[in-house]
Structure 1
Amino acid sequence: MTVEHRVAVRDAVAGILASRVPAVQGRIFRARTWPLSEAELPALLVYGWQEEKKRTGGTAFRSFYAVSFILAVEVRLNALSRAGTVLEAELEQLSGAVTAAVLQAAELLLPPDRKIERVDGVKTTLGIDSRSSEVAIGSALIAFDLGWTEVFEVPSPAVDCDADATSIAFRPIPPVQA
Structure 2
Amino acid sequence: MTDVDAVVPLDRVQPPQRAGEKEALVLRLDFLRETAVNKVAGLSTEQALTAALPPSALTPAGIVRHLMCVERWWFAIDFAAMDVPEPWSDDDIGGFELAPGESLATVVRTYLAECARSNEVIAAHGLDEVARGEGMEFDLRYAVIHLIEETGRHCGHLDLLREAIDGSVGD
Instruction: Give your verdict on TM over 0.5.
Output: no
TM-score by length of 1: 0.28
Structure holding more strand per residue? 1
Larger radius of gyration: 1
Higher relative helix content: 2
TM-score by length of 2: 0.29
